[in-house]
C-alpha cells in the first residue's frame, strides 16, 4: 500500500543530535510541482476545470457530498453560517476546544458563540451539556472533530432535530474520517474542511464546504463567487454578464493552481491515512500502561482521520522538557478558546475544558513519521519525566 504514497524529501532525524522530530510536516506530492507548473504555463489561474475536477475527486475518493472548493476553511465556516441563515442576535452552541476560527465566524455574522463543555476523554463537544443552553435565539450547533476523531454526531443530530437547529461540522482535522460507516462530509447540514498547509491534505490554503441539501449546495456555489449564478448568467452581445444580485456573496472560491496541488496531494491520500493509523496503533500499544499518562478513549463505531495524536499527562512542563532534551517535540494544541476577551472570557464552569487545558499534550504525527521514530518516542516517554 505505502508504495502508492511516495513520501518526498528526507526523513526527519531519529535522535537528539540534530533537529528535533517535528509535530507536523507539510506533505507535497512529488508530482505536484509539474501539475502546478502546467497551470501556470496555461495562464488560466482562476477557478476553472481543475477546481471542478478537485471537487469531483473529493466526492469520488472520500465520499464528500456536494463539496464546494473554497479559499480557506475559515471561509467555509463563514459561508456555512451565512447559508444556514445565522445572523445578528443568534446563538451558536459550540465547544471551546478548537482554533479561534470556529468562533470568529460566529462573531463575524453578528451572532454569539455559546460555549458548552467537552468530554475530557476526547476533546469533543459533550452532547449532555448542550440542551440546557438552548434558548429561543439558538440557531445552530457547531461541532469540532478534535484531532480528526468524530464527535457523537447521532446524539448531537437528535438534539438539533428536537429543537430545529442546524448542525455545522468544523471538520478541519477530519478529512477521511468516518462515523458509523459514513464519511465525514456526508452527514450533517454543513461540513467544513481546511486544506491549510499543515492540514493532512493541503492546497497551500484552501477549504471545502459540503451542504447536504442540494438547494443549499447551489446557494453555496453561487455565494462563493460574489452571489452570481454563473451557470445561469450568460454574457450578452455587448459583453456584459446578465444577472441580478439578490443577496450578499463573497470571493471565496479556490483557484486552479491550488486545485492542481490538491489533486496531486489526493494521490495516495488513503495510503497516507493508513500510515497515520498504523503510527497511532503503535503509539497506543506502546503508551497504554505508562504511569502519569492517560490516552484518549476512542469508540469502535468511528474512525479518526488521525490529524493529531494527543493524550493527558501529569507534570506536563517536565514532560515537554524531558522530550525536548531527547529531540522530540511535544506541544499543547490550542487552549480552550473561550478565554479570549472577544468571546467573553474564560468560563470556569466548563470543568472538563479547564481540566483538558491543564493536562492535554500532543506528540508528533505526520506523513513522514517512521515506525522507528515512533518507537524512539515511545522509548523516550518510558524513560520518564
Say how far apart CA 36 and CA 13 lie, in whole Å.
30
Residue 319 or residue 338: which is nearer to ligand PLP going by CB?
338
| Residues of this chain, 323-352, that bind ligand PLP according to CB under 6 A | none
Decide if residue 194 touches ligand PLP (CB under 6 A): yes
Query: How many Å from the N-terminal Cα to the C-terminal Cα in the chain?
Result: 37
- Of 12, 20, 67, 73, the one binding ligand PLP (CB under 6 A) is 73
Decide if residue 99 touches ligand PLP (CB under 6 A): yes
- Of 23, 35, 64, 72, the one binding ligand PLP (CB under 6 A) is 72
Q: In the complex, what is the shortest distance from the CB of residue 171 to ligand PLP, in angstroms, rounded to a whole number? A: 9
| Binding window for ligand PLP (CB under 6 A); candidates: 21-29, 98-106, 132-140, 273-281 | 98-106
- Of 98, 157, 188, 203, the one binding ligand PLP (CB under 6 A) is 98
Residue 5 or residue 258: which is nearer to ligand PLP going by CB?
258
Residue 152 or residue 293: which is nearer to ligand PLP going by CB?
152
Residue 233 or residue 331: which is nearer to ligand PLP going by CB?
331
Q: In the complex, what is the shortest distance from the CB of residue 150 to ligand PLP, in angstroms, rounded to a whole number? A: 13
Decide if residue 102 touches ligand PLP (CB under 6 A): yes
| Binding window for ligand PLP (CB under 6 A); candidates: 66-74, 175-183, 244-252, 359-367 | 66-74
SS3 state at 344: coil
Residue 251 annotated to the active site = no
Say how far apart CA 43 and CA 272 lie, in whole Å.
32
Structure letter (DSSP) for residue 368? T
Decide if residue 170 touches ligand PLP (CB under 6 A): yes
Decide if residue 115 touches ligand PLP (CB under 6 A): no
Residues in Cβ contact with 304 at an 8 Å cutoff, skipping those fewer than 6 apart: 145, 147, 148, 149, 150, 174, 177, 280, 298
Q: In the complex, what is the shortest distance from the CB of residue 137 to ligand PLP, in angstroms, rounded to a whole number? A: 24
**Closest C-alpha to 36, from 27, 48, 25, 45:** 45
What value, to the nearest 5°, has the Cα angle with vertex 168 and ends 164 and 173? 155
Q: In the complex, what is the shortest distance from the CB of residue 28 to ligand PLP, in angstroms, rounded to a whole number? A: 17
Decide if residue 360 touches ligand PLP (CB under 6 A): no
- Buried-exposed string 293-313: b where 16+ CB fall within 10 A, e elsewhere: bebbeeeeebbbbbbbbbbbb
Q: In the complex, what is the shortest distance from the CB of residue 193 to ligand PLP, in angstroms, rounded to a whole number? A: 8
Q: In the complex, what is the shortest distance from the CB of residue 341 to ligand PLP, in angstroms, rounded to a whole number? A: 20
Decide if residue 119 touches ligand PLP (CB under 6 A): no
Decide if residue 356 touches ligand PLP (CB under 6 A): no
Residue pair 61/271 in contact (Cβ under 8 Å)? The answer is: no
**Closest C-alpha to 150, from 169, 167, 166, 131:** 169
Length of the chain as a residue count: 385
Structure letter (DSSP) for residue 150? P
Say how far apart CA 200 and CA 8 lie, in whole Å.
15
Q: In the complex, what is the shortest distance from the CB of residue 203 to ligand PLP, in angstroms, rounded to a whole number? A: 9
| Residues of this chain, 195-254, that bind ligand PLP according to CB under 6 A | 196, 199, 205, 207
Decide if residue 144 touches ligand PLP (CB under 6 A): yes
Residue pair 315/292 in contact (Cβ under 8 Å)? The answer is: yes
Decide if residue 304 touches ligand PLP (CB under 6 A): no
**What region does 66 belong to: left with phi over 0, alpha with psi -120 to 50, or beta?**
left
Say how far apart CA 69 and CA 195 lie, in whole Å.
10
Decide if residue 172 touches ligand PLP (CB under 6 A): yes
Which stretches of the chain are assigned E, i.e. beta strand?
A: 67-70, 91-94, 112-115, 138-144, 166-170, 178-179, 182-183, 190-194, 207-211, 293-295, 302-303, 309-313, 360-363
Say how far apart CA 71 and CA 208 lie, in whole Å.
8
- Of 23, 24, 58, 74, the one binding ligand PLP (CB under 6 A) is 74
Say how far apart CA 262 and CA 206 lie, in whole Å.
9
> Which one is catalytic: 199, 251, 326, 346?
199
Structure letter (DSSP) for residue 326? T
CA atoms within 13 A on the CB side of 101: 19
Decide if residue 101 touches ligand PLP (CB under 6 A): yes
Interacting residues toward ligand PLP by CB under 6 A: 72-74, 98-99, 101-102, 144, 170, 172-173, 194, 196, 199, 205, 207
Q: Which residues are catalytic?
A: 199
Amino acid at each position: 500500500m505505502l508504495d502508492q504514497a511516495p513520501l518526498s524529501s528526507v526523513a526527519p532525524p531519529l535522535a537528539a543530535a540534530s533537529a528535533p522530530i517535528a509535530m507536523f510536516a507539510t506533505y507535497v506530492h512529488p508530482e505536484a510541482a509539474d501539475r502546478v507548473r502546467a497551470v501556470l504555463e496555461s495562464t488560466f489561474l482562476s477557478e476553472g476545470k481543475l477546481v471542478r475536477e478537485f471537487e469531483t475527486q473529493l466526492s469520488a475518493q472520500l465520499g464528500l457530498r456536494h463539496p464546494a472548493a473554497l479559499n480557506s476553511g475559515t471561509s467555509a465556516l463563514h459561508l456555512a453560517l451565512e447559508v444556514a441563515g445565522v445572523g445578528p442576535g443568534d446563538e451558536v452552541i459550540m465547544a471551546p476546544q478548537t482554533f479561534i476560527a470556529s468562533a470568529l465566524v460566529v462573531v463575524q455574522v453578528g451572532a454569539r458563540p455559546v460555549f458548552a463543555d467537552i468530554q475530557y476523554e476526547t476533546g469533543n463537544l459533550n452532547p449532555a451539556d448542550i440542551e440546557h443552553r438552548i434558548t429561543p435565539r439558538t440557531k445552530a450547533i457547531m461541532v469540532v472533530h478534535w484531532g480528526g476523531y468524530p464527535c457523537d454526531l447521532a446524539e448531537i443530530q437528535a438534539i438539533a432535530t428536537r429543537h430545529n437547529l442546524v448542525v455545522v461540522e468544523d471538520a478541519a482535522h477530519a478529512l477521511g474520517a468516518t462515523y458509523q460507516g459514513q464519511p465525514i462530509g456526508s452527514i450533517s447540514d454543513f461540513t467544513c474542511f481546511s486544506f491549510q498547509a499543515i492540514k493532512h491534505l493541503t492546497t497551500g490554503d484552501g477549504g471545502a464546504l459540503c451542504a447536504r441539501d442540494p438547494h443549499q449546495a447551489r446557494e453555496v456555489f453561487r455565494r462563493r463567487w460574489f452571489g452570481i449564478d454563473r451557470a445561469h448568467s450568460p454574457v450578452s452581445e455587448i459583453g456584459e454578464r446578465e444577472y441580478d444580485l439578490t443577496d450578499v456573496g463573497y470571493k471565496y472560491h479556490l483557484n486552479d493552481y491550488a486545485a492542481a496541488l490538491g489533486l496531486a496531494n489526493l494521490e495516495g491520500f488513503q495510503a497516507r491515512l493508513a500510515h497515520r493509523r498504523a503510527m497511532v496503533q503503535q503509539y497506543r500499544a506502546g503508551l497504554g500502561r505508562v504511569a502519569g499518562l492517560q490516552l484518549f478513549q476512542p469508540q469502535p463505531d468511528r474512525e479518526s482521520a488521525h490529524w493529531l495524536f494527543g493524550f493527558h499527562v501529569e507534570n506536563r512542563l517536565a514532560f515537554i522538557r524531558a522530550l525536548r532534551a531527547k529531540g522530540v517535540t511535544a506541544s499543547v494544541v490550542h487552549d480552550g478558546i473561550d478565554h479570549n476577551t472577544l468571546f467573553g472570557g474564560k468560563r470556569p464552569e466548563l470543568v472538563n475544558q479547564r481540566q483538558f487545558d491543564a493536562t492535554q499534550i500532543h506528540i508528533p504525527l505526520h506523513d513522514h513519521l517512521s515506525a522507528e521514530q515512533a518507537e524512539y518516542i515511545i522509548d523516550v516517554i518510558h524513560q520518564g519525566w
